[in-house]
Amino acid sequence: MSRPVACVQGLGFVGTAMALAIASARDAGGQPAFDVVGVELDSADGRAKADGINAGELPVSSADPEMDAALQRALEAGNLRATTDPAVYERAAVTVVDVQFDVDFDADHEPSIDFGTLEAALRSLATRMPPGSLVVVETTVPPGTCEKVIGPLIDQALEERGLPADAIMLAHSYERVMPGPDYLDSIVNFWRVYAGRTPAAADACERFLGQVVNTAEYPMARLASTTASEIGKVLENSYRAANIAFIEEWGRFAEAVGVDLFEVIDAIRVRPTHSNMRQPGFGVGGYCLPKDPLFPRLGAHNLFGLDELEFPFSERAVRVNRSMPLVTVEKLRELLGGLEGRRILLLGVSYREGVGDTRFSPSSAFVDAVSGYGGEVVPYDPIALDGSGGTAPELPDPAGFDAVVFAVGHAELVEMDVPAWLGDDRPLILDASRVLSADALRGLAALGCRVWAIGRGGVEA
C-alpha cells in the first residue's frame, strides 16, 4: 500500500458501500486516492465478510450492479482489502466508523441504550491510530455521543499513549445510504452533512469527503458541532417516521368511507411544499426508522441530564408504525372470519421495494400475529431469496391459500401477471402497500376475487 490508508470499521450495509465509494475515489492523475481496508470483528460473521470481499463477493445483498462492479474494479486496482486484524489502524490516515448501534427494549417496550460495543470499537481505533489521523463517525447515535462519549474516550486513550488530546481528530458525518438500485450513488452522488469536534477536524473531514463525494453537484453542509450533525440524522429519520405515522390514520378514514387515499395523495403531492407526503402501507422496517426517533430522548436524558425533555411525537410515531402490519392482520381476520387454520401467502418480506434487507421488516410482526391466531404464513420475496425471513425458494402456486397479501412493491411483484398466476384459483387479495394499480385491483375483482387494499378499502369490479 503506497497511498493514504482509509479504514472502514464495520462492513454492513453502510460500511460496505462506503468502502467501495472510497476505493472508487481518484486523484487528479486518475489514480486511486486511497488504499482502503474494511475492518471487521474477529468472529465467524466478521471473518466471512472479510473473506467474501477479498474473494470478490459482496457481504450484503444488493440490487445495484454498480456495487459489484466497483468491488471488482477495486480488487483489480489493488486498493481494497478486508481484514479482522485491528493492527491495520496503526497505518490509517482516516477511519470511518460504521458499526451498529442498537436500541434495547424491555418487556414493556421501553427503550434503553448501551454504549459498550461502540466504546470497544472506538477504543480499538484510539489506541492505535497515528497522530494527525482522522476519525469520521457515520454510525447513527443519540445526539451528544461524540461530545460526551467518543471524544472523552479518545482523549483518555491518547493520554495513556502520552499524546496530546488533539492528536487524533474527530468528526461526525451521517450517511444517507439507500440500499436498492441507487445504492452506491447514495454515497457518492448525494448531499452530505458534517461537523468536527474542532475546526481542524471539520477541515480534515471536508477534505476527505471532498475526495469521495461529488461535491461539485452535491455541495456539503458544514454544521457548528458534532451534536448538531447527530441531531440532523435523527431529526431527518424522525420526520420521515412521523410523516408515515400521520398518514396511517387517514388511511383508516379513507377505507371506511370508500375513498382511494392514494389518488388524493397524488393530487396533493403536485404542490411542491407537500411533494414528500408519505402514504399508508404494510409497515415500517429497516435499521433506521424503527429506532432512530427514540434517540432524542435517550440522548437528552442519558447524555445531557435533561430529564424534563420529552419527544412525544417522535415516540408515538414509532409505536404507530410498529403496529402497521397488525392493521393488515386484523383486516384479514375480519374478511376471512378468523385466521385459525387459514393459509396466507405473503408476497414481499424485505423492509422496502428493491431491497433484499429483511432487518426489522414488518413481515416478522405480521407472521407472528397470524401464527398467534392459529394461521399459517408462507412468505415469498423475489429479492430476499437467500432464506432471509424464511422465504420460499420460488413463487408458490396459489392453490390452497385463503388469502394473498401484496406487502412490498418490488418490481417483480408490481409487474406480475396476477390473473395468469391465479389460474382458476380465487383467494382473497389484499394489497397492503399499493403494489398493484387501481385498475389491476378492479380487474381481479372482476375475475371473482374478493379484493381489499390498505388506503383504498374494498375494491369492486
Residues facing 94 on adjacent strands: 6, 134
Q: Which residues, at least 6 apart from 275, have a Cβ–Cβ distance to it below 8 Å?
A: 269
Label residue 140 left, alpha or beta by phi (over 0 means left) and psi (-120 to 50 means alpha): beta
**Closest alpha carbon to 410 in 439, 437, 381, 438:** 381
**Closest alpha carbon to 95 in 57, 45, 139, 52:** 139
Give DSSP secondary structure letters for 172-198.
E-------STTTTHHHHSS--EEEESS
Q: Which residues, at least 6 apart from 366, have a Cβ–Cβ distance to it below 8 Å?
A: 282, 283, 325, 326, 328, 329, 346, 377, 405, 407
C-alpha cell at 303: 447524555
pLDDT number for residue 309:
95
pLDDT number for residue 441:
97
CA 402 – CA 422 distance, rounded (Å)? 12
Tell me, yes or no, if the two domains 5-224 and 257-459 fold the same way: yes
Q: Do 170 and 154 form a contact (C-beta atoms < 8 A)? A: yes
Amino acid at 6: A
Q: Do 398 and 345 form a contact (C-beta atoms < 8 A)? A: yes
What is the residue extent of each domain of the chain? 5-224, 257-459
pLDDT in tens, the chain (461 residues): 579 999 999 999 999 999 999 999 999 999 999 999 999 999 999 999 999 999 999 998 788 899 999 999 999 999 999 999 999 999 999 999 999 998 888 877 788 899 999 999 999 999 999 999 999 999 999 999 999 999 999 999 999 999 998 999 999 999 999 888 899 999 999 999 999 999 999 999 999 999 999 999 999 999 999 999 999 999 999 999 999 999 999 999 999 999 999 999 999 999 999 999 999 999 998 888 889 999 999 999 999 999 999 999 999 999 999 999 999 999 999 999 999 999 999 999 988 888 877 878 999 999 999 999 999 999 999 887 554 456 778 899 999 999 999 999 999 999 999 999 999 999 999 999 999 999 999 999 999 999 999 999 999 98
pLDDT number for residue 65:
92
56-94 as b/e: b if 16+ CB within 10 A: eebbbbbbbebbeebbebbbeeebbbbbbebebbebbbb
196-229 as b/e: b if 16+ CB within 10 A: bbeeebbebbbebbebbbeeeeeeeebbebbbeb
Q: Which residues, at least 6 apart from 271, have a Cβ–Cβ distance to it below 8 Å?
A: none
**Closest alpha carbon to 296 in 279, 318, 328, 280:** 318
Q: Do 81 and 54 form a contact (C-beta atoms < 8 A)? A: yes
CA 427 – CA 437 distance, rounded (Å)? 18
CA 129 – CA 7 distance, rounded (Å)? 10
pLDDT number for residue 104:
87
Grid cell 429479492 in the structure block, residue: 383
Q: Do 322 and 245 form a contact (C-beta atoms < 8 A)? A: no
Amino acid at 271: R
pLDDT number for residue 387:
45
257-459 under CATH 3.30.1490.190, yes or no: no
Between vectors from CA 191 to CA 11 and to CA 36, what angle results, nearest 5°? Answer: 30
Q: Do 407 and 379 form a contact (C-beta atoms < 8 A)? A: no
Beta strands in 51-138 (DSSP E): 80-83, 92-97, 104-105, 111-112, 133-137
Beta strands in 63-130 (DSSP E): 80-83, 92-97, 104-105, 111-112
CATH of domain 5-224: 3.40.50.720
Classify 108 as helix, strand or coil.
coil
Q: Do 391 and 349 form a contact (C-beta atoms < 8 A)? A: yes
Grid cell 399508508 in the structure block, residue: 280
Give the Å distances, CA to CA, from 102 to 46, 140, 243, 244, 290: 18, 9, 23, 22, 11
